């Protein structure tokens, strides 16, 4: 789930939100594909991927806070 606060209006930016989900999944697969179980590394990869993508597409740098919930 991706939650935004004051950065974009979700209903008007559905395509951007879908792309963000793809970026998050790609970052997670990269870390987990290396068999890493380090939550810090996973959060860092997600934050970096999302931040880079958002800057490239919007020329803005919002605060990105990955929250990982263990199941």
- Judge whether 47 and 53 are in contact, CB under 8 Å: no
- Annotated domain spans of the chain: 10-58
3-state secondary structure 6-29: CCCCHHHCHHHHHHHHHHHHHHHH
pLDDT recorded at residue 3: 87
pTM: 0.86
pLDDT band at 71 (very low <50, low <70, confident <90, very high): low
How far is the first Cα of the chain from the last one, in angstroms, to the nearest whole number?
Answer: 14
State pLDDT tens for residues 12-69. 789 999 999 999 999 999 999 999 889 999 999 999 999 999 999 999 999 999 999 8
% helix / strand / coil in the chain, to the nearest 5?
60, 0, 40
């Amino acid at each position: 789930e991706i939650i935004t606060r004051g950065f974009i209006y979700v209903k008007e930016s559905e395509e951007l939100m879908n792309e963000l989900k793809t970026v998050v999944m790609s970052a997670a697969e990269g870390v987990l594909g290396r068999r890493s179980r380090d939550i810090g590394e996973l959060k860092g990869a997600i934050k970096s991927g999302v931040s880079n993508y958002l800057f490239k597409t919007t020329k803005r740098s919002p605060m990105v806070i990955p929250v990982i919930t263990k199941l």
